[in-house]
Structure 1
Amino acid sequence: MKTKFFKGISNIYIGIIFIFLYLPIFVVVAYSFNQAVTGTGWTGFTIDWYKKLFEDLNVIVAFKNSLVIAVASTVVSSIIGTIGAVGLYKYNFKGKSVVEGLLNITIVIPEIIMGIALLMYFSQMGFSLGIGTLVLSHATFSIPFVFIVVKSRLAGFDSNIEDAAMDLGANRFKVFTSIIFPLILPGILSGAMIAFVLSFDDVIINFFVSGPESTTLPIKIFSMLKFGLSPEINALCTLMLLITFGILIFAQSIKIIGAKKV
């Protein structure tokens, strides 16, 4: 009897948590189909806001910028993060723990401080703010996430397999391409997906280091909010949610498949 009671309480508690987390998201999605312009009350179902959204050239340009920046920064951060994880896993040297701590500092540092620091750095270096500075900035804060995911993947790697392959005549490059890389590939892809989502959704860093011709989708939403909340903004947020959730689900499925193979 007590077991059923506590189980019921646990289910209620879990339900409350999920409502707290996802009810605001559900409201945004629901009101993106609302006919009311102000979004303060439900007046009927419509998809006109999505049609209007796809006809807005500024939104399309912002989406293109966000996509280009996210893809480019993901490639850069995935390469650097993977090389760093493999290097720190395979080699021991003085100050290794300090290097790992420095790689993780961008995760804990307040994003607004990082944005100001990047803005000052680019200004001192004479860089013009735009797509290039955004790619470099996004890669900077995405590298530690790729590093952590790949490193956790390497933590379960049996180094005896590598030694056995080298005893059989394989060189280091062959060992990496034939053994290590296939084993850590799910981790690389998962880290890349996380980096893509972080870049695609970022607002604060974009606000500081974007130029007049490099407006991203989150900044576009932020500027639209100055004129009040509308179903068009809800529709744009819904599309971003779909892209974000889709990528995260794909990344999670990659991790599960990789875990089963191991």
Structure 2
Amino acid sequence: MNRMSRFNVTAIALGFAFLYLPILLLIIYSFNESKLVTVWAGFSTKWYREVWNNQGLMDAAWVTIRVGLLAATVATVLGTLAALALTRFTKFRGRTLFSGMVYAPLVMPDVIIGLSLLLLFVAAGFDRGFWTITMAHITLTMCFVTVVVQSRLLSMDRSIEEAAMDLGATPLKTFLQVTLPVIAPAVVSGWMLAFTLSLDDLVIANFTSGPGATTLPMKIYSQVRLGVTPEINAVSTILVAIVATGVIIASVLTKRREVQRRRDEQAAFAQ
């Protein structure tokens, strides 16, 4: 038993080291005084100031944030509606085709999605730029939102919806006041997943971008091809911090919601 326990601890430690040690080194070397990435010359925050003063990186970051916010919001709305259609209407004509089209981006390579959307935009005469990247990211992320929300809808007790409609609530009012509060954690999780995927995307944005619409991953990739600098490490550290903060906030809110739900159940049981 002790040997097994030691083996498990060692395996977990090696696994975490494999996953997070490169990220930790990136964060450490973002505070390196030297311009040489692999040579430590002392602690400094000057590269963060350099990032702030780099207009190209700041413009790319602003484009990425705007695309991510808009794409995640639209994808969350469309994905939630698609999940409702797939769970509440199980026998409409074309359901198999609809579900296949919704889930296709999950298994399709990013190169194929990017090339297909590029051909579509060229055929339709769209000027590539901010809006084409946004539409491409909506296409990419909507399926992930659908999967997350659909899993919550499938496990939801539908009797509370039926009770609300029996009491005179319209379908829309039932959805807004009963269904949506129940599935809200899944909707928020889907939005965060969509936003993260939009921030991370490089391949599809590369196909669908145009002049004046360079995203931060594209900017980082173009600079890394000439060599990694502490400035790039600083940008990557900021992105890691943003994502980590979002995950922590979501975890805390979910935990508080669960504690409040248990308290409400205990109060109802006591009465």
Return 190-199 or 29-38, whichever deviates more. 29-38
Q: What is the correspondence of 1:11-22 to structure 2 with a 5 Å cutoff?
A: 11-22=9-20
Structure 2 unpaired stretches of 5+? 263-271
**Is 1:32 matched up with 2:30?**
yes
Alignment partners' CA distance in 1, 2:205 and 2:26: 23
CA RMSD in angstroms, aligned pairs only: 1.6
Partner of 2:202: 203
The 1-side partners of 2:7 and 2:65 are apart by 44
**Other-structure match for 2:43:** 45
Pair 1:139–1:254, CA change in 2 (3 A): farther
* Alpha-carbon distance in 1 for matches of 2:99, 2:252: 28
Q: Which amino acid aligns with 2:195?
A: F
Tell me the TM-score normalized by structure 1.
0.94
The answer as to 2:169 corresponding to 1:189 is: no
What do residues 176-198 of structure 1 show as CA deviations (whole Å, max 9, x unaligned)?
Answer: 11100110111111100000010
After TM superposition, the structure 1 = structure 2 runs for residues 15-164 of structure 1, keeping only pairs within 5 Å, are 15-93=13-91, 94-164=93-163
SS of the residue 1:212 aligns to: coil
Q: Cα offset for 1:95?
A: 4.3
Letter in 2 for 1:151: Q
Aligned residue type for 1:27: L
- Residue by residue over 1:136-167, the C-alpha shift from the partner in whole angstroms, topping out at 9 and shown as x without a partner, is 00000100111011111112211111111211
Q: 2:4 aligns with which of 3, 6, 31?
A: 6
Contact preservation (8 Å) 1:166, 1:175:
yes
Question: In 1, distance between residues paired with 2:223 and 2:98?
Answer: 41
Q: Return 140-149 or 170-179, whichever deviates more.
A: 170-179
Cα displacement string for residues 38-91 of structure 1 (whole angstroms, at most 9, x for unaligned residues): 212111111000011101111111111001000110111011000111121111
Query: What per-residue deviation string (whole Å, max 9, x for no partner) do you get for residues 215-255 of structure 1?
Result: 11111101111321110111111111111222233344455
| Structure 1: segments with no counterpart, 5+ residues | none
- 1:87-143 per-residue CA deviation (whole Å, 9 max, x = no partner) reads 211112244344223211101111111111111111111110100001100000100
SS at match of 1:104: helix
**Could you tell me which amino acid in structure 1 is paired with residue 135 of structure 2?**
L
TM-score, normalised to structure 2's length? 0.91
Q: Matched residue of 2:38: which SS?
A: coil
- SS at 2:225 equivalent: helix
In the alignment, what sits opposite 1:180?
A: 179
Provide the secondary structure at the position in 2 that maps to 1:9.
helix
